[in-house]
Amino acid sequence: MNFSSDNVTGVAPEIMAAIAAANVGTAAAYGDDATSERLTRRFSELFEREVAVFPVATGTAANALALATLTPPWGVVYGHRDAHFQVDECGAPELYTGGAKLRPLDGAHGKITAADLDAAVTGRGVVHHAQPAAVSLTQSTEAGTVYQAAEIEAIAEVCRRHKLALHVDGSRFANAVAALNRSPADLTWRAGVEALSFGELSVFLSSFLDSFESLSLLSLLPPSGDADVCVFLA
């Protein structure tokens, strides 16, 4: 057993078999194929609402692209100081957001609190300051802890008050779902989360489709139609 990272082991044989099966024959490009449609359908079932799914190459790409849809280049993204996007992504979030400021927050056991976030959000409307734009939580955290649905709801309330988008880095989301015995929907959009990255996939929730479509990079992706949730998947 090696628990250092999911990147150190190969994938399950079932995954290799599914990839091999998907590689047979011809298919429309750029997401307009049956496999992508099935993926979207499965995620919509999983999240109990319509989603749009966007496969990307890595978890870092999922985070960077997710955050790039949620903040302008002059925005501030708040998150725990140990979060992967703060310390382990080689500046990719800064690059893809066009230079947004990542503001690290302290917090016991890898978690930020609603009260600490509330106190940290300053400078709205101050012409000299980067503008508060988004929050990123990690579920499960770098410390192996999880955010309860009520804790996410409290943070989402602060986000609504300060007009901040709420993103979750869900590289270990499945562990949190299992540990908390709550549905993916309960731990995301029902609690106020607007975007979710998986290890190699991101989910976007309704209100950000507009900004999402306005980004030139992302406008290359297939149109999301009336989807309430967009998913990036690597």
Ligand X SMILES: Cc1ncc(COP(=O)(O)O)c(C=O)c1O
Q: Which residues contribute to the site for ligand X (CB under 6 A)?
A: 5, 7, 58-60, 63, 84, 138, 169, 171, 199-200
- CB of residue 75 to ligand X, shortest distance in Å: 20
In whole angstroms, the minimum distance from the beta carbon of 59 to ligand X comes to 2
Closest to ligand X by CB, 58 or 113? 58
Smallest distance from ligand X to CB 127, Å: 34
- Asked whether 80 and 110 are in contact (CB, 8 A), the reply is yes
Nearer Cβ to ligand X, position 5 or 216? 5
Contacts of 31 (CB under 8 A, 6+ apart): 54, 55, 221, 222
Take residue 10 and report the two structure tokens written for it: 């190969």
8 A C-beta contact, residue 123 and residue 155 = no
Q: State phi, psi for 131 to the nearest 5 degrees.
A: -100, 135
Closest CA to 122 of 139, 100, 103: 103
Give least dist CB 165 to ligand X, A: 18
Q: Closer to ligand X by CB, 7 or 216: give it.
A: 7
Q: Which is nearer to ligand X, 194 or 200 (CB)?
A: 200
Q: Between 136 and 224, whose beta carbon lies closer to ligand X?
A: 136
For CA atoms 117, 122, 128, 134, the dihedral sign is: positive
Closest CA to 188 of 199, 175, 172, 203: 203
**Dist CA 127 CA 165 (whole Å):** 21
At 41, which amino acid appears? Answer: R
Shortest distance (Å) from residue 8 CB to ligand X: 10
To ligand X, the closest distance from the beta carbon of 4 in angstroms equals 9
84 or 190, CB closer to ligand X?
84
Closest CB to ligand X among residues 92, 158: 92
Coil, strand or helix: which one is 171? Answer: coil
CB of 40 to ligand X, least distance (A): 21
Q: How many CA atoms lie within 13 A of 3 on its CB side?
A: 3
Query: Rounded distance, CA 177 to CA 152, Å?
Result: 13
C-beta nearest to ligand X: residue: 59
